[in-house]
A and B are shown apart, each in its own frame.
Chain A
Amino acid sequence: MQNFDFHRPQTLAEAVSILAEDEGAKLLAGGQTLLPTMKQGLATPSALVALRAIPGLTGIRACDDGSLEIGAMTCHADVAASPLVQRLLPGLAALANKIADRHVRNRGTLGGSIANCDPAADYPAALLALDATIVTDRREIPADEFFAGLFTTALEDREIVTTVRFAPATRVAYAKFSSPASRYAIVGVAVAASGSAVRVAVTGAGADGLFRWEEAEAALTRDFSPEALGKFEPDPDMLNGDMHASPAYRASLTRTMTIRAVRTLLSERILD
């Protein structure tokens, strides 16, 4: 790995000014994607700006209006184990517990995952389905605008994700067909229900990355049941094909994962 300068800023403002002075500098969150990428020589930043020492970026809190806020530097294991997340958004805790393996979950962060926006990452699907708000050091971005394609977000230069906020009274379930080696999603589907409104977000499958499956959303809004999906599958022409799965197989998996997520949400309702 090529060497680089290393910075441990104590404030967001300090981090932003380091990024401004060095165009080749990159932010370091948990590093669970960035470091393997750098070791392969696929990223060669001139400096890393570690976010760990900046106070206020870690933690999980419930707000007065019932919404849930998760700090960008909160690791997956802490989201999975949080009694607050388990109570308010059990589907999100379950998703966090299925990311990669326990060692990665102890280090990888929510903010790092969404800022990297890997097209097979898990969190983006849940955030998009839940219509989450991504809070940065300068503005708030709705998930629909934040996720903009393969490894592409609405983040501007030097903009830093600080928190993700989830609205109250929304439920989510995530079903994933994962690569047995990496646990990345070959297809992952998050279904969120808020009152009668349903949003379905698909990761791992789209040729252009994360997408909302609007046909399924309309069907499930009319009738929230697995049967409502009929024979619907997304158009394979808009899906990705690789060594793991063809577009046609991914279309079929998208339908199956959607049904599984719907079933999970229905079973939770009965238990309420």
Chain B
Amino acid sequence: MVPLSLTVNGKPIEVEVEARTLMVDLLRNTLGLTGTHIGCDTSQCGACVVHVNGRTIKSCSVLAVACDGEEITTIEGLACDDGRLHPMQQAFADCHGLQCGYCTPGMIMTAVAIADEEDLLEPARLREELHGNLCRCTGYQNIVKAVIAGADAMKRSG
């Protein structure tokens, strides 16, 4: 077992894990944060995207032990403590940016990461930027709409 200390959604965590534990398994199985989904488990679909130090990664393709000392944010870390949704979550709800919802946590984590990069929000660029996130319902029109609306709401809410 390998000792590991990291921060998850602002909370310091100390655990011992097997070296082979993937970040997504640490989050889901050890910490009970099942909002992060396993879609393909082969590094293609992006359902497992979380932030490491503010940057998106596929948690099915990163070892937990490779994130020692890092700050992890998952979909559970976005909403306010009082239950109010994060502006990007609200935008996905308002714009019908989800159908079955399986890809949604990864989509939203990706959307939040690119929301403050103005040039990425132009629709053609945005579609390119979402390349690492697959929606098997093929609901991309409304996902793109939601990301743009969510980014705008994030800017307005400061």
A-to-B contact residues, CB < 8 Å: 1-6, 8, 28, 31-32, 35-36, 39-40, 48, 50, 52, 77, 100-104, 106-107, 181-183
Contacts and interface: CB of A to CB of B under 8 A. Distances in A.
Nearest to B49: A103
Nearest to A35: B61
Interface residues of B, number: 28
B62 A107 contact: yes
B55 A3 contact: no
A3 B64 CA distance: 13
B46 interface: yes
Interface of B: 2, 18-20, 22, 41-44, 46, 49, 52, 55-58, 61-63, 65-66, 68, 110, 113-114, 129, 131-132
B19 A6 contact: yes
A101 B131 contact: yes
B15 to A, nearest CB: 14
Contact of B110 (A52, A102, A104): A102
- How would you classify the secondary structure of chain B's contact residues: helix, strand, loop or mixed? mixed
A3 B18 contact: yes
A46 to B, nearest CB: 11
A102 B56 contact: yes
Contacts of B43: 32, 35-36, 104
B41 A39 contact: yes
8 contacts: A2-B20, A3-B19, A8-B68, A32-B43, A35-B22, A100-B132, A103-B110, A106-B56
Given A6-B19, A6-B63, 15 more contacts: A1-B22, A2-B20, A3-B19, A8-B65, A28-B63, A35-B43, A39-B41, A39-B42, A50-B66, A101-B46, A102-B56, A102-B110, A102-B132, A103-B110, A107-B61
